[in-house]
Amino acid sequence: MASGVVLGIESSCDETGAGLVSDGRLLGHALASSMEEHARFGGVVPEIAARAHVEAVQPVIRQALDEAGLGFGDVGAVAVTTGPGLSGALQVGVAAAKSLAYSLGVPLHGVHHLAGHVAADMLEHGPLPDPCMVLIVSGGHTSLLLVRDLAGEPIVHLGDTLDDAAGECFDKVARVFGLPYPGGPAIDRAARDGDPASVSFPRPLTGPRDDPYAFSFSGLKTAAARWAEGIRGSGHALPVADGAAALQEAVADVLTRKAVAACRDHGVDTLVVVGGVAANSRVRALAEERCRTAGIALRVPPMRLCTDNGAMIAAVGDLLVRADAAPAPLDVSVDPSAP
């Protein structure tokens, strides 16, 4: 069945996104970020994020429609992130989506934020092969999932982080290193001038007795903080570029090692790496190198679709519409801690 055009709205954290997708094709998208307003607090302030969404949501939807050369009358369904995410932030996107769906008389679909991250890749590379291994690495999640059909069959959850997410580790260590928020991109930039072998940071949960699909990044964060403290305590300037390169190497090593092993263990020949940390240059390069060696096809969304955006939510909405999924009721609520 043809889906018409699906409008996707994302507001789970600090990005307000709108995107338009039809039959797996991205027609236009727009983004506003309150990132700079959070920078001086060193992390996302939920109340500031929610207020920024209120201001941005309508202009961003309008901008996405303009980019696609479409009007509200072309929208055949509305999809919106219902969770996980910040409650107040999610409420803004969901309220906007409900009022649009109601006034346009079109179905509404609630979307899981992480399904959105996975679907981002489909906008660039087409339908996902069945099965595929998905590594989701963002500011809130680090998970390995065995996926068959994003809109249908249940996803097999192989492992998660036991503590911090990979992006959270980058964000927190960046703060200790004196780098700006958000820390992930700052670490990536600083690492360009550093030597990854200058410090040997631990590779958590990679021993023979460890859970092969579980992650842990809080010990790595502590190791990086101790390293910085030690150097500063001895009166020397912190070699930030070296620290950033070594940290990035440790994170990329653990992520790609476990993801490739999961593919091998389950006889899966496609690995999909998604989420904000998939934008990291070393994660991308090492994943490519290791997948090539292992004979695994690697799929990573383009950089602009790795971090939160509305196009990825529209992509899931488009799948749901095409799968004839039942729409959500107009009183659907947000689910900030959706599993």
Residue 117 annotated as lining a ligand binding site: yes
Nearest CB to ligand KG4, comparing residues 107 and 243 = 243
Candidate segments 37-45, 89-97, 163-171, 321-329, binder of ligand KG4 by CB under 6 A = 163-171
281 marked as part of a ligand binding site: no
Tokens of 169: 């580790």
Nearest to 199 by CA among 252, 246, 251: 246
Strand 15-22 vs strand 5-10: parallel, antiparallel, or unpaired?
Answer: antiparallel
Please state the φ and ψ torsions of residue 324, each to the nearest 5 degrees. 60, 35
171 contact choice in Zn ion, ligand KG4, none (CB below 5 to 8 Å, kind-dependent): ligand KG4
Does the annotation place 125 within a ligand binding site? no
309 marked as part of a ligand binding site: no
Does residue 78 have a known ligand-binding role?
no
In sequence order, what are the beta bridge partners of 83? 112
Structure tokens at 23: 């039959």
Q: How far is the CB of 207 from Zn ion (least distance, A)?
A: 30
Binding positions for ligand KG4, 5-64, rule CB under 6 A: 13
- Positions in 103-162 near ligand KG4 (CB under 6 A): 138-140
For the CA atoms of 169, 167, 135, 57, the dihedral, rounded to the nearest 10 degrees, stands at 160
- Residue 88 CB partners (closer than 8 Å, separation 6+): 46, 47, 49, 50
Which of the 8 DSSP states describes residue 86?
-
Q: Which residues, including other chains, have CB under 8 Å from residue 79's CB and lie 6 or more apart?
A: 6, 7, 8, 9, 97, 108, 109, 110, 111, 313, 314, 316, 317, 318, 320
Of the candidate residues 185, 194, 196, 243, the single one contacting ligand KG4 (CB under 6 A):
185
103 Cβ neighbours under 8 A, 6+ residues apart:
none
Q: Measured between alpha carbons, how far is 34 from 55 in angstroms, rounded to an integer?
A: 10
Q: Edge to edge, what strands does the sheet with 132-137 contain?
A: 156-160, 142-147, 132-137, 270-274, 297-299
**Which residue in the set 29, 273, 307, 316 belongs to the binding site for ligand KG4 (CB under 6 A)?**
307
254-283 residues near ligand KG4, rule: CB under 6 A: 275-277, 279-280
State the nearest-atom distance from the C-beta of 253 to Zn ion, in Å: 23
CA distance 175 to 253: 22
Q: Output 156 or 285, the one with its CB closest to ligand KG4.
A: 285
Here's the x/- map for Zn ion, 138-177, by CB under 5 A: it reads as x---------------------------------------
Stretch that binds Zn ion, among 21-29, 135-143, 213-221, 224-232 (CB under 5 A): 135-143
Does 265 appear as a known binding residue? no
List the binding residues for substrate: 136-140, 171, 184, 188, 280
**Binding interface with ligand KG4 (CB under 6 A):** 13, 138-140, 167-168, 170-171, 182-185, 188, 275-277, 279-280, 307-308
**Binding interface with Zn ion (CB under 5 A):** 138, 308
List the binding residues: 113, 117, 136-140, 171, 184, 188, 280, 308
List the binding residues for Fe cation: 113, 117, 308
